[in-house]
Amino acid sequence: MKKMMKWALGLAVMAGFAACESLELPGYTAEPQVLETSSPFTTLYKDIRYGEVPESGPEDRTSDRLMDLYIPKFAAPKGGYPVFLFVHGGGFSGGDKCDTGKGYHDISRAMAECGFAAISMNYYLTLKYDNPSKVSCSAEMKNGLPATGTFHPDLQKAIDNASDDAVAVLEWIKAHAEQYKLNPNHVVVCGGSAGSMTVLQLAYFSGQRVLPIRGVVNLWGGVANPSAIELPAPPMLIYHGDKDDLIHVDYAHAFEARLQELGVRVEKHILEGKGHAQYTYIRKNHINDIVEFMRSL
């Protein structure tokens, strides 16, 4: 009961959060900015550099290797705060970790309110700078899974590059766990759309051995061939709209079928009448479900 009250308190406070744009966000520096949010329960470390400046240069912060860290102000549990790593969408050509219009910022802050160290990362947007074939996620995925079991090479390259950046964030978590009281053995990854494609690649296909991934929250994402997932595979929580016209809902069904076949825990929620990128809906209606999923792992 006490836990549920704490979660409810977090959700209530969320309604009064100030927008990210209302914070003073000058140009990032070598050291992260420490910002007080409108919530009395979290501290925000803004624009932490987790990797090298990409070829696009530091002027394009949306494509730079920067992350925001939201830390609860109440005492860390034994072993440290469990970590919620969030990756935004944008088709590997756009998006920003701080985009309140999409709801990315609110989801990360909500999870910190509920007791998790939340990380929201930017990553190199490959298709913004290197897309000779003019490929897009929607063109590849709106009609269902590819018959060949593969994506266009340019799209797969974008996914791999973003996943590599997510691996670098895992390395940062491992290196700074003691400093920020993080639990490197309890990391759950979450993403929406292209961000979900990134964390799915990270968790099931990258082969990374930096840190164990305890679970995946898949918000309307997909991979070219879910049947290629093999053990060991972390549990998955899925949300996908049945009216999604950018990434077909068949991806959600395919994940469920494959993970059930492998005997891996999977929870699928089809959002009836909902289209793509339902971040605000998730924040308002399903944060407690994500919290329950994370705490159960």
pLDDT in tens, 232-264: 999 999 999 999 999 999 999 999 999 999 999
Residue 132: is the preceding peptide bond cis (ω within 30°)?
A: no
Q: Of 191, 186, 243, 195, which is closest to residue 215 (Cα–Cα)?
A: 186
Please indicate whether residue 130 or residue 29 has the higher confidence score (pLDDT).
130
pLDDT, mean over the chain: 89
Using CA atoms, how far residue 295 sits from 83, 222, 251, in Å, is 11, 24, 26
**pLDDT (mean) for 263-283:** 97
* DSSP per-residue string spanning the chain: -HHHHHHHHHHHHHTTPPPGGGS------SSPEEEE-SSTTEEEEEEEE-S---TT-TT-GGGSSEEEEEEESSPPPTT-EEEEEEE--STTT---TT-TTTTHHHHHHHHHHTT-EEEEE----HHHH--TT---HHHHHTTSS-TTS---HHHHHHHHHHHHHHHHHHHHHHHHHHHHTEEEEEEEEEEETHHHHHHHHHHHTS---SS-EEEEEEES---S-GGG--SS---EEEEEETT-SSS-THHHHHHHHHHHHHT--EEEEEETT--S--HHHHHHHTHHHHHHHHHH-
Q: Which residue has the tokens 């590819």?
A: 146
How would residue 37 be classed by pLDDT, with cut points 50, 70 and 90?
A: low
H-run or E-run covering 94? none
User: Is residue 241 within 8 Å of 252, Cβ to Cβ?
Assistant: no
181-195 residue pLDDT tens = 999 999 999 999 999
The whole-angstrom distance between residue 254's C-alpha and the CA centroid of its chain comes to 20
Going along the chain from its start, the domains and CATH numbers come out as 2-296 (3.40.50.1820)
> Residue 53 pLDDT more than 70?
yes
- Which pLDDT score is estimated for 31? 58
pLDDT digit string, tens, across residues 168-178: 999 999 999 99
Which candidate, 135, 257, 142, 236, places its Cα nearest to that of 193? 142
Residue 55 pLDDT class (50, 70, 90 cuts): confident
pLDDT given for residue 98 in this prediction: 83
Q: Please determine, for residue 11, whether its predicted confidence score (pLDDT) is greater than 90.
A: no
In this prediction, residue 10 has a pLDDT band, given cuts at 50, 70 and 90, of: very low
Residues 85-97 have a mean pLDDT of 96
Q: What's residue 166's pLDDT? A: 98
Kindly indicate the confidence band of residue 56, based on its pLDDT and cuts at 50, 70 and 90: confident
Is the pLDDT at 276 greater than 80? The verdict is yes
Does the pLDDT of residue 25 top 60, yes or no?
A: no
**Span 187-211, mean pLDDT?**
98
